[in-house]
Amino acid sequence: MERVRIAEVLNTAPSENKITVCGWVRTFRNDRFLAVNDGSTIHNLQLVIQKEDHDDEILKQLNTGAAVSAEGVLVESQGSGQKVELQVTSLDLLGGADPDEFPIQMKRHSLEFLREKAHLRFRTNTFSAVFRIRHLLQFAIHKFFHEEGFYQLHTPIITGSDAEGAGEMFKVTTLDLDNLPKTEDGTTDYGQDFFGKPSNLTVSGQLEAELGAMALGQVYTFGPTFRAENSNTSRHLAEFWMIEPEIAFADLNDDMALAERCLKYVLGYVLENGDEDLAFLENRQIQAEKQLPEKDRSERPLREMLRLVVDSEFVHMTYTEVIDTLTRSKPYKKKKFKFPVEWGVDLQSEHERWLVEKHVGGPVIVTDYPAEIKAFYMRANDDGKTVAAMDVLVPGIGELIGGSQREERLDILKKKCADFNIPEDHVWWYLETRKFGSAKHCGFGMGFERLVMYVTGMNNIRDVIPFPRTPLSAEF
């Protein structure tokens, strides 16, 4: 008999037809009630069994984590908490789970503990909810860009270019590290390497996306990116996914409008399609925050916060305004910030979070950063000091999106390459798009895991990607 997913079963009216469900046991009470989950929904299906009908050997093995298959009829539930339940007529144990060894028991486990059991943590309510929401979010992103007339472009993961300057790169090589071929001057002879030159894992698909946009008009990438920074924070991964749209014939205002539309669309989509999981995660956050002092708790429940963002207009501030605001802030005057605040320095997470959480109370788009602290490709503003950059900062996360208008003027871009020590022969292909049919264009990058954190209310980026890669950690 064909298996029916529990999400569907729970929306079915009682009937005399027999159905089959499969899933993993969450609890088994009074030798009678078996709560089973198959991952299709946060809710369990209650299976009601008659003890007499089943082998003692099997009953003994219906522990948390065991996989079962059951046939039965759907009846109105006698108990509270569910509308329907399955009166089981036959039950198969597919795979047992020894309670002395299975680590995911029905008590509250810490997220840190579950990170070490990442291969099994999908079996918990929290992680199944997070990964269903993660799926909905990526689907909403593709839907948004498709509806807006973008084409997805698959930019390379292995790259011979290191021009982006977004972070330290992981080397890709087939050379024998214990026996490296040398050139006459004693350096490694990359001519003998797989690609005949040094190559790396990409930190961003942007430069290649720009090439696509200068013909297809609007493209986006959605792929893994890699940064070997040794930053062990709750917001950095060594391997993370990024969405990078790039649009031709558009300026920074168009870029910011796109980012705002995109964010509102995907939040709206999960609010509409992921309510049960969001409700669960909202409650999880409230419970978890009970341990915190009141001032550190979220100001409003998760879904209310997300809905507010969908309905709000994002606040815009220039970098210069932000620096002014920060130097007039209480934490600045009381010397509470660890990092310096003055025109020219990069904003640190503590500054970004004060701005969005305490000062504005919602997303802020910061524009026109000093040229020195941003990448070479950002378009120079007329003031000669700043570039047409924009970062979208959000409460709880800080920087969610970073983007800019791109420098489309060949002479200025060449000068920027020189200033940033980027040899022109490394980026000759990038420069040629400015030589042939150059036009203004812009784009941004949104960190996908940061978006998932924002939407699920999870505090650590390691808990929103199935198998996190961080310094000294690449298990699974």
Q: Tell me whether residue 190 or residue 354 sits nearer to Mg ion (CB atom).
A: 354
Least gap, CB of 126 to ligand 4AD (angstroms): 20
Q: Tell me whether residue 123 or residue 236 sits nearer to ligand 4AD (CB atom).
A: 236
| Structure-block tokens of residue 161 | 């270019």
Least gap, CB of 398 to ligand 4AD (angstroms): 9
In 348-357, which positions are buried (b, 16+ CB within 10 angstroms) versus exposed (e)? Answer: ebbbbbbbbb
Least gap, CB of 245 to ligand 4AD (angstroms): 8
How far is residue 2's CA from residue 79's CA, in Å, rounded to a whole number? 27
The answer to whether residues 312 and 329 touch, using CB atoms and an 8 Å cutoff, is: no
Q: Tell me whether residue 70 or residue 237 sits nearer to ligand 4AD (CB atom).
A: 237
Instruction: Find the distance separating the first CA and the last CA of the chain, reported in whole Å.
Output: 35
Least gap, CB of 124 to ligand 4AD (angstroms): 23
Q: Which of these, 118, 228, 258, 116, lies nearest to 162 by C-alpha position? A: 228
How far is residue 158's CA from residue 170's CA, in Å, rounded to a whole number? 10
Longest dimension (CA), the chain: 85
How far is residue 72's CA from residue 99's CA, in Å, rounded to a whole number? 27
How far is residue 118's CA from residue 463's CA, in Å, rounded to a whole number? 9
Least gap, CB of 211 to ligand 4AD (angstroms): 13
Show Cβ contacts of residue 308 under 8 Å, excluding neighbours closer than 6 positions. Answer: 300, 362
Q: Tell me whether residue 25 or residue 219 sits nearer to ligand 4AD (CB atom).
A: 219
With CB under 5 to 8 Å by kind, the binding choice for 237 among ligand 4AD, Mg ion, none is ligand 4AD
Q: Tell me whether residue 88 or residue 242 sits nearer to Mg ion (CB atom).
A: 242
Q: Tell me whether residue 228 or residue 279 sits nearer to ligand 4AD (CB atom).
A: 228
With CB under 5 to 8 Å by kind, the binding choice for 395 among ligand 4AD, Mg ion, none is none
Half-sphere exposure of 158 (CA within 13 A, CB side): 9
Binding mask 394-433 toward Mg ion (x if CB under 5 A, else -) reads --------x-------------------------------
How far is residue 249's CA from residue 218's CA, in Å, rounded to a whole number? 9
Q: Interface with ligand 4AD by CB under 6 A: which residues?
A: 164, 166, 204, 206, 227, 236-237, 240, 242, 244, 399-404, 443-445, 447, 449-450
Least gap, CB of 259 to ligand 4AD (angstroms): 10
Chain residues that interact with Mg ion, rule: CB under 5 A: 402
